[in-house]
Amino acid sequence: MGYNLAQKIIQSHLVSGEMIPGTEIGLRIDQTLTQDATGTMAYLQLEAMNIDRVKTELSVAYIDHNTLQNGFENADDHRFIQTVAQKRGIRFSRPGNGICHQVHLERFGVPGKTLLGSDSHTPTGGGIGMLAMGAGGLDVAVAMGGGTYYIPMPKIVNVELTGKLSPWVAAKDIILELLRIMTVKGGVGKIVEYTGEGVKTLSVPERATITNMGAELGATTLGATTSIFPSDETTLAFLKAQDRADAYTELKADEDASYDEYIKIDLSTLVPLAAMPHMPDKVKTVEEIGPIAIDQVCIGSCTNSSLFDMMKVAAILKGKTVAENVSLTISPGSKQVLTMLSENGALADMIAAGARILESACGPCIGMGQSPNSKGISLRTFNRNFEGRSGTADAGVYLVSPEVAAASAVAGCLTDPRTLGEFPEIVLPDHFLINDNMILLPDAPDKAKDREVIYGPNIKSVPLGHALEKEISTKVLLKVGDNITTDHIMPAGAKILPYRSNVPYLSQFCFGVCDKAFPERCKKEGSGIIVGGANYGQGSSREHAALVPLYLGIRAVVAKSFARMHKANLTNSGILPLTFADENDYDKIDEGDSITLCGVRDAILNGGDIVLKDATKGIEIPLKADLSDRARHIILAGGLLNYTASK
């Protein structure tokens, strides 16, 4: 029996374990990337490890999230990251150079390599055949130090694509269709691997759109790792256009490869789709939703900001004017894209139509500016539409393709672009503009030893956990429902993101979307646990959603189920992730209950189950600690930094 593509790359990077689904494996990491919202903390953790020089083949630090500088905080973080990068052997992509995933795809991605990034949409690299995974910053720091990355061996889902997309139907519609089929919980413990004749009809930017938004399937949030396409002649053409043909390797599954699950999508049957508020899998056709009035359209993000997407948008807008009731923003994904748009005239067409051109950064996707009006309806080509993520609590955000977005911006309402007539033919150039002058190379080792790492006053120490006690007696300080995202736990946005390197300040916003009194309650009690529903912690890779509760004294989270990355981040921080043995027991416990986790250290040490005694209710609730042997020892030590130091 042959190997599928995911298995081939895993096998060639396997450090420990066997490729048996559900069992822990350790992987060698070739490349890493960070962005500045998570990067400052990742580099503080790297500095805490006393690593002279990173051990990866390539590590890149990108500045693309916290680029709105209305105070000194973001600029100080950028300076800190730059000086660490120069000292420790990391390339530094300066502000304005572009969104990490777009730039990495263009300039650094290599088929067959492993990529670990402190951003949940790192699987974008799967568009050129990388095993590209999102993780918490501490896992990325450990990988930069030469450490192994550990995950449960995923199941592999074969998504066979047949046929060809019809005019006005986009790659975004493919991933929205898969979200409709699999839901945001459907990727539990799985890698999504694309095969079939339909793959050949998709360009690399289209493939990258699909792998990028694969994060919302659960492919990075619930249990698995990534999405991946084969590396073929289309990949080679893309790399040649970037002057990187030497990076090409043909990669595909063996003819007799097997998969754990099979899904087939006929591309020719797809129509324009949209994900409705407030979840990426609430998918309907644009025609079904109808011509609802809209207030805002935002085009860009790491999902849809390539030159290919921008050229389609420019062609639709050319000679037209944005509707008077609509504010249209456009964010090209990289300096390369923006420069090429300016040189070929497409940028002028966008500006003439009334588009507001934003810098090549994440911007509105993470709530960094461009929040909609109150109760506003915003169409976005982004990957997430979680409630409040836009910066406006009562806004309704729809996720759509660039074609739907541009057509709707002109019409003033949600519009099926098939009504526009003949589809404009977009041909990608054989050669892209190559100018890497905004990527700084690190200092040579002999010079690096004299490089000073510069800390700003907003940069505080990394909070550390402590060794697990024999038992934990405390209170339930918060109870929340299903599908709690990292945006609920630790919100993003222009007002909060500048403090990602200042956990004490950040703590006052923890769970602000759910219960603004939570931080004060934590400070009053000194310690506590959180009770959550299913899919607790879905969303981004931000480890602040674990570090801030740790700072506030949270010792454990008891939930029906966890998102993979958040569970890993809780473990790495020293917070115990526990699940109900019987999900119905969730209803038996309430906020304010006094509880004891009995014999918890012995149970974690020896692999037994844990009993929660609820003194308020006079009941006992059995819990499970589904942790690998390594994760158990991390919890016992009080977190990965403590565990690493002990080793």
Of 121, 400, 401, 396, the C-alpha closest to 278 is 396
Note the maximum CA span of the chain: 72
Nearest-5° Cα angle at 219, 214 to 223:
165
Nearest-5° Cα angle at 390, 386 to 391:
120
CB 347 within 8 A of CB 314: yes
| 481 three-state secondary structure | coil
| Paired tokens of 371 | 């929040």
d(CA 400, CA 408): 10
CA dihedral over 478, 371, 544, 586, signed as positive or negative? positive
| Paired tokens of 261 | 């699950």
How many other CB atoms sit within 10 Å of the CB of residue 609? 12
Say which residue the tokens 């969104």 belong to.
99
Say which residue the tokens 């839901």 belong to.
183
Say which residue the tokens 């030497």 belong to.
246
Q: Tell me the catalytic residues.
A: 64-65, 119, 384, 540, 542
Of 219, 29, 7, the C-alpha closest to 120 is 219
CB 31 within 8 A of CB 108: yes
| 543 three-state secondary structure | coil
| Paired tokens of 19 | 């490729």
605 burial (CB, 10 Å; 0-12 / 13-18 / 19+) is: middle
| 323 three-state secondary structure | coil
| Paired tokens of 385 | 């539409």
Within 8 A by CB and 6+ apart from 186, the residues are 217, 218
d(CA 37, CA 55): 23
Within 8 A by CB and 6+ apart from 359, the residues are 67, 96, 331
Of 10, 7, 46, the C-alpha closest to 29 is 10
CB 91 within 8 A of CB 54: no
Phi, psi of 576 (to 5 degrees): -80, 115
Q: Which residues partner with 26 through β-bridges?
A: 16, 150
16 burial (CB, 10 Å; 0-12 / 13-18 / 19+) is: exposed
HEC sequence for 76-117: HHHHHHHHHHHHHCCEEECCCCECHHHHHHHHCCCCCCEEEE
